């Protein structure tokens, strides 16, 4: 037995030396990037602890590392992820799909952090699922926006009857509506603070050709992110026509508490999409 002790001690020392050499070699072989090897290892360890909720928060740089390690390095090139901005709801749906156990295998806290990073840096105020030609038509004839006040931005899409088949692409988890009521899809976004929890129906009205204001009937929230930076919903008014016949102007006025009023204009009726495309093609030929 006494003879075994030096042998065991030698084995332990050899194992420690081998482990130390392996660790040094591993650290040396790491591509440190701009942050250096020590910081790289420190951040990697923190992200591992964050995955299992032993760490509560990440810095902005650490959130970026998490996104890059989970998405643009593990699954896709950065061009694939970043070349097209998405709405807040679309990023949430994409990360939920890509974060499944058979893909990126993200924990809930990792998925939430990546969604918030993408919403902050690659945000579109309007949906991106429709073909480019269709989206250009929507933006020209149905979509209106303002430039914001107090970092609160409105994007409003008028939904005529014959274009409500587009609603599943324009409004989160919505369906085409056959109601005679007048519908608008509304996005509210802010880059700082939180979107106020208003009922837009309380202070929004619509009028056509200088007629009396018609008050909204209902405001239905369809989506809001966990940080309350983005909200989306459908604002409903009594039917006001505008589907055909003589041309007329339509105006929506939003009077937010404590802010200036926001005014948005449309020229009705919205033209036929296919006809507009044909006129565009004829113009190119000439």
The pLDDT of residue 226 is 84
Q: Average the pLDDT over 52-76 and give the result.
A: 82
| Average pLDDT value for the chain | 82
CA 129/CA 88 separation, integer angstroms:
13
Per-domain residue ranges of the chain: 36-121, 132-270
Mean pLDDT is lowest, of 57-61, 96-100, 132-136, for 96-100
Tell which residue, 52, 24, 27, 51, has the closest CA to residue 39: 27
- The average pLDDT across 55-64 equals 89
Say whether pLDDT at 128 is over 90: no
- Contact at 8 Å (CB) between 284 and 172? no
Given a contact cutoff of 8 angstroms between Cβ atoms, the answer to whether 117 and 64 are in contact is yes
pTM here?
0.70
* Cα angle value 72/106/96 (rounded, 5°): 85
CATH entry, 132-270, from 2.60.40, 1.10.30, 2.60.120, 1.20.1740? 2.60.40
Strand ranges across the sheet with 204-208 = 214-215, 204-208, 248-254, 262-268
What is the domain class of 36-121 according to CATH?
Answer: mainly alpha
pLDDT > 90: what percent of the chain?
A: 35
Tell me the mean pLDDT in the region 66-93.
77
| CA–CA separation, 253 and 212 (whole Å) | 12
Handedness of CA 78, 82, 83, 86 (dihedral sign): positive
Backbone angles phi, psi at 127, to 5 degrees: -60, 155
Average pLDDT over residues 87-102: 82
First to last CA, the chain: 101
Distances (CA, A) of 31 to 20, 38, 39, 200: 19, 11, 12, 52
Both tokens of 181, joined, read 């009521």
3-state secondary structure of 215: strand
Going by C-alpha positions, the residue among 74, 116, 79 that lies closest to residue 95 is: 116
**In the prediction, which pLDDT does 277 show?**
52
d(CA 134, CA 1): 84
Mean of the pLDDT values across residues 133-158? 91
């Amino acid at each position: 037995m006494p003879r075994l002790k030096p042998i065991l001690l030698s084995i332990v020392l050899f194992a420690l030396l081998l482990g130390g050499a392996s660790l040094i070699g591993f650290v040396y072989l790491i591509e440190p990037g701009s942050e250096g090897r020590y910081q790289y290892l420190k951040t990697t360890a923190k992200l591992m602890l964050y995955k299992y909720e032993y760490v509560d928060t990440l810095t902005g740089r650490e959130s970026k590392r998490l996104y890059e390690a989970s998405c643009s390095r593990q699954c896709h090139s950065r061009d694939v992820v970043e070349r097209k901005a998405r709405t807040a709801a679309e990023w949430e749906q994409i990360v939920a799909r890509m974060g499944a156990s058979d893909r990126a295998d993200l924990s809930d806290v990792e998925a939430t952090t990546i969604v918030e990073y993408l919403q902050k840096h690659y945000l579109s105020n309007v949906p991106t699922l429709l073909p480019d030609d269709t989206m250009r038509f929507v933006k020209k004839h149905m979509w209106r926006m303002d430039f914001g006040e107090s970092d609160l931005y409105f994007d409003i899409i008028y939904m005529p009857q014959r274009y409500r088949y587009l609603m599943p692409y324009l409004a989160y988890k919505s369906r085409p509506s056959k109601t005679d009521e007048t519908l608008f899809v509304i996005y509210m976004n802010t880059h700082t603070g939180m979107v106020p929890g208003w009922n837009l129906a309380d202070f929004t009205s619509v009028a056509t050709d200088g007629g009396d204001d018609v008050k909204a009937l209902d405001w239905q929230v369809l989506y809001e992110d966990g940080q309350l930076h983005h909200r989306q919903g459908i604002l409903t008014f009594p039917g006001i026509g505008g589907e055909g016949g003589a041309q007329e102007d339509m105006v929506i006025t939003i009077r937010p508490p404590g802010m200036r009023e926001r005014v948005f204009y449309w020229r009705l009726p919205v033209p036929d999409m296919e006809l507009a495309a044909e006129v565009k093609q004829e113009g190119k030929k000439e």
